[in-house]
Homo-oligomer: A and B are copies of this chain.
Amino acid sequence: MKKFAIAIHGGAESIKHSELDQKTEKLYRQGLADALKDGYDVLEKGGSALDAVEAAVNSMERNPVFNAGRGASLTQRGENEFDAAIMDGNTLRVGAVGGVRYVQHPITLAKVILQKCDHCLLVGTGAEEYALANNLPLKGPEYFVTPEKDEAWREKQHKRLEVKKTMPGSMSDTVGAVALDINGNLAAATSTGGLTDQLKGRVGDTPIIGGGTFAANKVCAVSCTGEGEAIMRGVLAHEVYAMMKYAGNSLHAATDKAIELHADKLKGDRGILSMDAAGKAAFGFNTGFMKRGYWAADEEPFVALWESEKGKKAVKQKEMEK
């Protein structure tokens, strides 16, 4: 059996079981299962980890229950702005976009940049024009803005009038995926609509290589979610890599340590999805809730939401190689 695996996340949040209705919970689990399958299918056919993480993230970008692509959060101006990054752990090639609008699949634009562009990170209208030049599908706001997100935005505006201060929102449920393919290559991808009510032009950790996204063969692939500013300041994706490479930590230990790192200075929700060179995955989070899933070669997939399901947070390929 060839070894391959994919793991995904749909964001970590401080939310209680009582705050989530059953219908939404079901949509989350189904969305995770769908994304996992899209990524797994690529790997099973011998496709690359890079294509697999793109496929998994594409699925969540299409699905309005996740904060990426369609259904993403709105800025203070009531507009979508997307960040995304993808990294090939074999070549260390990178593609990333920040503050783009209209691009149906931000992670696919990031992959085109990785494959074709001399640059790694494009932002704003420059990134949108690059999407146009490469014939990527564009959509207007009526595609991206769901009634739920529109209402969340209106509520924020109402609250701002009441409390007279900026309240950067939650809804930081960024999506991401990491994968190992049959050739031993690792890849990571992350895509987000940012924070509800964020300032125009705000870019979070998602497209920051080493911040929200990182991959290097033989060590790990990482995709983060949570409070972007704290993750960016702590360079947390690269911390997982550094603690494994230089301090000899296991994937598990490095991920857990990165969740706690600089906790005196960096507040807020954190979720870290990581995968090592053996296809083992770790899900670290300091919230009660992280949408997540894992599927390794010839095994049953699983998806999980609550911390109480955390027994499954670290999945060892070894356990699966019966």
Interface residues of A (CB under 8 A from B): 87, 91-94, 98-99, 117-127, 129-130, 166, 168, 198-204, 208-211, 214, 228-229, 232-235, 238-239, 242-243, 245-247, 262, 265-266
Contact = CB atoms under 8 A, between A and B. Distances in A.
A124 B124 contact: yes
Point out which of A127, A130, A202 has the most chain B C-beta atoms below 10 A from its C-beta: A202
B238 A121 contact: no
Nearest to A234: B92
**What number of copies of this chain does the assembly contain?**
2
A100 to B, nearest CB: 9
A200 B93 contact: no
Nearest to A120: B229
A127 B198 CA distance: 12
Given A98-B121, A119-B202, A121-B204, 8 more contacts: A91-B265, A92-B266, A120-B232, A122-B203, A123-B201, A130-B199, A235-B238, A247-B247
B201 A127 contact: yes
30 contacts: A94-B233, A98-B98, A98-B123, A117-B199, A118-B166, A119-B199, A121-B203, A121-B204, A121-B232, A122-B202, A122-B203, A123-B124, A123-B203, A124-B124, A124-B201, A125-B200, A125-B201, A126-B199, A126-B200, A126-B202, A127-B201, A129-B200, A130-B201, A208-B209, A209-B232, A209-B233, A209-B235, A214-B235, A246-B247, A247-B247
B201 A129 contact: yes
Given A211-B210, A233-B93, A199 B122 contact: yes
A77 to B, nearest CB: 9
Contacts of A246: 242-243, 245-247
Contacts of A204: 119, 121
A76 to B, nearest CB: 10
A209 B245 CA distance: 20
A274 B211 CA distance: 20
B265 A92 contact: yes
A225 B197 CA distance: 34
B120 A99 contact: no
A233 B265 CA distance: 26
A99 B207 CA distance: 15
A246 B126 CA distance: 38
Contacts of A87: 233
A134 to B, nearest CB: 12
A271 to B, nearest CB: 18
